[in-house]
Chain A
Amino acid sequence: MDRSSHSRSRRLAPIVAVAAAAALTLAGCSSSSGGKKSEEGGTAASAGKASTPRMTVALVTHQSPGDTFWDIVRKGAQAAADKDNIKLVYSADPNAGNQANLVQNAIDQKVDGIAVTLAKPDAMKDVIAKANTAKIPIVGLNSGLSDWKKLGLLEFFGQDETVAGEALGNRLNSEGAKKVVCVIQEQGNVGLTQRCDGVKKTFSGTTETLYVDGTSPTAVKSTITAKLTQDTAIDHVVTLGAPIALIAVQSVSDAGSKAKVATFDLNKDLTGAISKGTIEFAVDQQPYLQGYLAIDSLWLYKNNGNYMGGGEQPVLTGPAFVDKSNVAKVAEFAAKGTR
């Protein structure tokens, strides 16, 4: 080392001192409001445990890291697994090819069942056929409503994104909306595009699409602000994810617009915003239910030969509307991270 190390440590000394002083005063720094202490304890719904033999089920999704939505799916799946004496193996990759490899991996492990999302059905075709050859029961969830049967899945749990979009469009009609902007946070995502297309199909006013950079909240905020300034006729902002909806609320106030915010999907903070009235309503596809049913269905199939939906029809988990009238009930569960 050259002598820079000395000068560095000299410079660091005051920083260390400040940090130490800060640590000493921490005790006097506790917050009198909010925080963990104000949070009420609560446990997730739990039932008794089945006495059936231990089985292993793989859940393979196209989740990208850090998406709140998938967190809820996984919680539902885990709850079902705990109840059914199942060992749940969770894996995810947003890249379709990688996701197919993860399914192959599960087949190689000789699991007792697989639950898989079909964000890009064509990429999963071969590997699903392999699972069927290996006689591993495989069910679908969340996305792939139009393809699950064709690909040979036993059952499907999810929401038809287009149907959900259409329902939201109808709701906007009854709210008296004239012009809507549909905010897509990931350009090229099939499910997100279907939602906006569904809105466009049933909504009687004008629907515009806006792409934002979902990885940067500040970019989302200013882009929505820009759109609302550019087109002052917009009276509703439709977002496709809970965090984006909360940012859109800020954009609306920044732009001085009178537009209302409606969204797909839910989370804890969003239920708060609905009860406060800053967000009008949310369309929930009940991700917890998707995860729960997918795992539970594999248990039923294995132990009792049951097919949910009779093996012909998909099991729809949405769209379920959450607005001021029913938010109080939902909020309770959302606080626990299960809605």
Chain B
Amino acid sequence: MTDNHSTTHGAVLADEAPADGAPIVELRSTGKSYGNIRALHGVDLKVYPHQVTCVLGDNGAGKSTLIKIISGLHQHTEGDFLVDGTPVRFSTPREALDKGIATVYQDLATVPLMPVWRNFFLGSEMTKGPWPVRRLDIQKMKETADRELRNMGIILDDLDQPIGTLSGGQRQCVAIARAVYFGARVLILDEPTAALGVKQSGVVLKYIAAARERGLGVIFITHNPHHAYMVGDHFSVLRLGTLELSAERADITLEELTNHMAGGAELAALKHELSQVRGVDTEELPEEEDLTAPVATGPEGKS
């Protein structure tokens, strides 16, 4: 297990293509239907190393369907899903992991009752000794987990405490550190800041930046444009299952992103309604023509 790990990890540390090189993960007008419900349709997305790709969207916009496809929990039903330029179709999360795609879920990042170090190595345990007495190399696992967590700036006194006793932010960080250690090339973070306070969110954002520094391609799912803008290099906004916006950081301001996130055109319409009501100051709200950022139009156009 240890040997296996070193090789995959070595591959990560080898110089990756620069940010403008080939994408690790690419979606080409990908879609997913559950029966006759179309959850996702015509989505294009590229994930480069050394970049944080933010996927924003309101509840039900199709964010979770998107990550389930990339992480191997579900299969896409339309378009193409490429890893390193080759079309793939994962049937289990294990296959995605083997390709270096690791996912940190908001609610199922960890097994709460298990100690921190066991969580860190879950599914990729280090062992020693020949079968049938092959056993966990607990000493080494604890040392490694401690070192890796410290490298990410997470300091725990007792790695034997159940991970459920850590704060939500700390848990996310342990999960991120684990993904980084196990040679993830692409890290999918599902709403890592959603349930956290301001300070805790800041901690998580730091680790996202840290993961990018290490050369990972990060997919950061959030509905908070402020968090996204702090670390993002590229922004994709999902809306009712289609891509509403796809923009580089240089091409968009936080304000524009916020407007898109908040509903863009619908917000402008809402403004008109609200202006009828006395006491609501609509001057500060943007007009539709202010939304100048390039808008990705799917085959069916905007909703």
Please give the residue numbers on chain A whose beta carbons come within 8 Å of chain B beta carbons, in ascending order: 2-3
Contacts and interface: CB of A to CB of B under 8 A. Distances in A.
A3 B98 CA distance: 12
A3 B94 CA distance: 8
Contacts of B92: 2-3
Interface string B71-99: 00000000000000000000110100000
A2 B91 CA distance: 7
Contacts of B91: 2
Contacts of A2: 91-92, 94
Contacts, number: 5
A51 to B, nearest CB: 68
Secondary structure at the B interface, as helix, strand, loop or mixed, is: loop
Contacts of B94: 2-3
A2 B73 CA distance: 11
5 contacts: A2-B91, A2-B92, A2-B94, A3-B92, A3-B94
B131 to A, nearest CB: 12
Interface residues of B, number: 3
A79 B288 CA distance: 95
Contacts of A3: 92, 94
A3 B91 CA distance: 10
A7 to B, nearest CB: 11
A2 B97 CA distance: 13
A2 B94 CA distance: 8
Nearest to B98: A3
A211 to B, nearest CB: 40
B241 to A, nearest CB: 28
5 nearest CB pairs, A to B: A2-B92, A2-B94, A3-B94, A3-B92, A2-B91
A2 B92 CA distance: 6
Interface string B215-233: 0000000000000000000
B39 to A, nearest CB: 23
A193 to B, nearest CB: 48
Interface in B87-130: 91-92, 94
Nearest to B93: A2
A124 B91 CA distance: 61
A3 B92 CA distance: 8
Interface string B238-256: 0000000000000000000
A43 B91 CA distance: 62
A92 to B, nearest CB: 47
A39 B47 CA distance: 78
A3 B95 CA distance: 9
B291 to A, nearest CB: 44
A3 B72 CA distance: 13
A40 B82 CA distance: 75
A134 B264 CA distance: 81
A124 to B, nearest CB: 53
A126 B299 CA distance: 76
B98 to A, nearest CB: 10
A275 B245 CA distance: 94
Interface string B267-298: 00000000000000000000000000000000
A3 to B, nearest CB: 6
Nearest to A3: B94
A4 to B, nearest CB: 9
Nearest to B91: A2
A232 B91 CA distance: 68
A316 B94 CA distance: 74
A58 to B, nearest CB: 52
A38 B113 CA distance: 59
Nearest to A2: B92
B134 to A, nearest CB: 14
A225 to B, nearest CB: 37
